[in-house]
Amino acid sequence: LSLDISHATAPTRTTFIGNLTGLAFIGTGVNVKDVECSIHIKHDYKSGTAVYPHVHWSHIIASPSGNVKWGLEYSVAKGHSQGAFPATTTVYVTQAAAAQYTHQIAEVSDDDAIPSTNLEPDSVIKLRIFRDPADASDTFENNAYLMFVDIHYQSDGKFTVGKVSP
* pLDDT on residue 23: 95
pLDDT in tens, 31-66: 899 999 999 999 999 999 999 999 999 999 999 999
Please report which confidence band the pLDDT of residue 162 belongs to, taking 50, 70 and 90 as the band edges.
low
* pLDDT on residue 6: 72
pLDDT in tens, 102-159: 999 999 999 999 999 999 999 999 999 999 999 999 999 999 999 999 999 999 887 6
Rounded Cα gap, residues 37 and 35, in angstroms: 7
Residue 73, class by beta-carbon neighbours within 10 Å (0-12 exposed, 13-18 middle, 19+ buried)? middle
Does pLDDT of 165 surpass 60?
no
pTM of the model: 0.91
* pLDDT on residue 164: 63
